[in-house]
Amino acid sequence: MKTILVFGGAGYIGSHTTKLLLENDYNVIVADNLQYGHKEAILTKHFEYADLMDKESLNNIFEKYKIDVVIHFAGFISVGESVENPMKYYTNNVIGTLNLLEIMLKHNVKNIVFSSTAAIFGNPIYTPIDESHPTNPINPYGMSKLMIEHILKDYHKAYNLNYIALRYFNASGCDEDGIIGESHNPETHLIPLILKAIKGEKEYIKIFGDDYETPDGTCIRDYIYIKDLAMAHKLAIEKIENYSGSINLGTSKGNSVKEIIKIAEKITQKTCPIQIDKRRQGDPAILIASNQKAKEILNWTPSYDIEDIIKTAWNWELNKKF
Return residues touching ligand UDP (CB under 6 A).
79, 170, 188-190, 193, 205-208, 219, 221, 257, 280, 283
Task: Please state the closest distance from residue 26 (CB atom) to ligand UDP, in A.
Answer: 28
Is 141 a residue of the active site?
Answer: yes
Please give the Cα distance from 205 to 261 (Å, whole number): 9
Our CB check for ligand UDP shows the closer of 48 and 283 to be 283
Our CB check for ligand UDP shows the closer of 8 and 284 to be 284
DSSP 141: H
Q: Which amino acid is at 4?
A: I
The one catalytic residue in 26, 89, 90, 141 is 141
Our CB check for ligand UDP shows the closer of 244 and 256 to be 256
Task: Please state the closest distance from residue 40 (CB atom) to ligand UDP, in A.
Answer: 23
CB-closest chain residue to ligand UDP: 219
DSSP string computed for 262-315:
HHHHHHHTS---EEEEPPPTT--SEE-B--HHIIIII-------HHHHHHHHHH
Task: Please state the closest distance from residue 228 (CB atom) to ligand UDP, in A.
Answer: 16
DSSP string computed for 49-103:
E--TT-HHHHHHHHHHS--SEEEE------HHHHHH-HHHHIIIIIIHHHHHHHH
Task: Please state the closest distance from residue 319 (CB atom) to ligand UDP, in A.
Answer: 21
Our CB check for ligand UDP shows the closer of 104 and 309 to be 309
Q: How far from chain centre, in Å, is Cα 266?
A: 27
Contact 29, 61 (CB under 8 A): yes
Q: What are phi and psi of 223, to 5 degrees?
A: -90, 125
Q: Which residues are catalytic, by number?
A: 141
